[in-house]
Amino acid sequence: RNDYYGGDSASLNLTQLYRKFRPDQSPPDELGRDRDYAVDLVPKFITSSGELTRILVHTDVTRYLEFKQIAGSFVYRDGKISKV
């Protein structure tokens, strides 16, 4: 059982990320606070001018969620972190 909600598509804070992928290590202090991280195991994006956005706005689901511009998007592959 995981210590986080969401299973394979969860968003993990820094400590949870280390527990999952580097269980023998702790996150270095210079990486900052746990709450500054939300790493999606399965990244999800909605384009701002896409059909899904129009449907969500039209159906008033925005009463229950909010849209936020992302500050950056990164991937981890072949032992490196790269900006997308």
pLDDT digits (tens, 9 = 90+) for 16-45: 999 999 999 999 999 999 988 988 888 777
Q: What is the pLDDT of residue 49?
A: 80
Q: What pLDDT, on a 0 to 100 scale, did the predictor assign at position 47?
A: 76
Comparing CA positions, the residue from 44, 70, 71 lying closest to residue 56 is 44
- What's the pLDDT at 14? 94
The percent of residues in the chain predicted with pLDDT above 70, rounded, is: 96
**Mean pLDDT of the residues in the chain:** 85
What is the CA angle 57-58-61, rounded to 5? 55
Per-residue pLDDT band at 1 (split at 50, 70, 90): low
For the entire predicted model, the pTM comes to 0.56
End-to-end CA distance of the chain: 32
